Structure 1
């Protein structure tokens, strides 16, 4: 049951992101980011557990540092009588972009993100992986000038997101490193055609919501807790497997559509090496997704005689239907082009 103060701060959180999106000046964007930071901290805290308080402290320190760098860059640009981004120096753009990458959790500014995720419950993890990415990404869309710097951020994010997720047993850390890898794809998708980023973000959010509904309902946090639940429910087992394969971008699932559009956009603009690295390290993320769902692929497996509680939720089945409807979307696409 949600308490009144949590509903209040959740509404402020949503409004602060809308302030950032609709702002015309750098100071109002910075103000929206600060309101966003101060509104999510009460949502993280839990009087029954110390780990969310520790995660909230780590999040506050890193986000405050990013906000200070952003504010310093804005003041510096105003004192030097330069406008951002048209007439400013590369150093100011680099500082602003770095602060936004730190806020979004992109590598190599990612170290706080898995540690904060590990201390949160699933509802806050959902906010961290989806809603909290919108504000810095929207500012980045209007400030994409240094393509070489952005390319290095994309490369480092996809490499670290792929490799660091291999040796994790915590589902929250696996999803955190997966999110870092997807940040690389989102940054790549906004290079020339911004609508691909919007499509990518919507599809990614749907898939993450599907998975977190399952994890939250059964109170699952580690890999060794999966077998007990999914050996008792074939439909849930099927949805779980399909969502992870879709999250990895395996065709013909819905998660492949934004990756496909991103790849076409990058190749059209001659980013061949960047595309190759993105594809290779996404296959590594797909490997540890398959490792999670490996028991689902087995033809013979142990089934429990005890019937556990089933997940009967309309929105869960509705979102999974949308996710699996990727097959129909691909079948219909040639009729429109």
Structure 2
């Protein structure tokens, strides 16, 4: 059950992001980001565990550094001509990429995610990306720099995600990979970015709800749970395939549309890099799924509906609508 102060901070968190999104000036956007930072920090606090406090301090320092760079680039752009403004936009874009945890400014992202509980992890993976990404769409004066960030996000997330055994870090590197896809959508269509962000948020909520419900933190725990109920276990694992964008799951739809719009705008090289690196991400998803389903000796042969969560299974069934949507979606 939520405490009253947590509810107040959650409302302020949502309102601060809406202030940044709807502001008419860069200074107002920066102000909204600062309010957002001050309201998300108390949500990390947990007296019974020291790790969220450590993540809170790291997150505060990184976000404060990014906010300083944003304010610096805004103030410098007031007194410079258009040539220098385009150069200072690199500083602004770097700060926004740092706030959302995109490569090559991703160094803080997996470590902070590792120290948080699943509720705060969901906030960092989804809602905290909303305002910086919309601000990034307003300041794309250097598409080449943005393309380099997309490539780095795709390559680094694919390589560094291979050695992880923590599900939080796997979700973090998956988020970095999806950052590349979402920033690519900002280059071609803001509406397509919003659609991709909504689907990614839905799949992440589904996975994190399952991890919290069954108290799963490591791959080894994922192997050992729910051996009495194969249906729930497979439903959890299929979300990884949906998150990786494998057809016929619903996660394939936004990636398919992204590839279509990017090839239409002649971003062919960038599209190929995204597809190849997503295959690497799918590889460690498949490795996780196969090991979870096969590397288990003590296993019940009796199929039981004990602890069956009907709502969870119903939400998971939406993943299978991806094939239908990709068949009827007009292009």
Which band: TM-score by shorter chain? over 0.9
Runs ≥4 residues deviating over 4 A: 295-302, 305-309
Stretch of structure 1 that moved more, 269-278 or 33-42: 269-278
Question: Residue in 1 aligned with 2:151?
Answer: 155
In 2, distance between residues paired with 1:180 and 1:206? 17
In 2, distance between residues paired with 1:308 and 1:38? 44
In 2, distance between residues paired with 1:198 and 1:297? 34
Question: Residue in 2 aligned with 1:43?
Answer: 43
Query: What stretches of structure 2 of length at least 5 have no aligned partner?
Result: none
Write the mapping of 1:45-60 to structure 2, written as runs, cut at 5 A. Answer: 45-60=45-60
Query: What stretches of structure 1 of length at least 5 have no aligned partner?
Result: none
TM-score (norm 2): 0.95
In 1, distance between residues paired with 2:291 and 2:300? 14
> Does 1:310 pair with 2:303?
no
TM-score (norm 1): 0.93
Question: Residue in 1 aligned with 2:17?
Answer: 17
User: How far off is 1:317 after superposition?
Assistant: 3.5
Q: Is the 8 A contact 1:238 1:296 kept in 2?
A: no
Q: Is the 8 A contact 1:17 1:134 kept in 2?
A: yes
Write the mapping of 1:70-219 to structure 2, written as runs, cut at 5 A. Answer: 70-80=70-80, 82=81, 89-219=85-215
In 1, distance between residues paired with 2:53 and 2:28? 29
Q: Is the 8 A contact 1:102 1:109 kept in 2?
A: yes
In 1, distance between residues paired with 2:293 and 2:214? 21
Q: Is the 8 A contact 1:206 1:323 kept in 2?
A: no
Question: Residue in 2 aligned with 1:322?
Answer: 318
RMSD: 2.0
User: How far off is 1:308 after superposition?
Assistant: 9.3
Change (3 A) 1:192 1:291: same
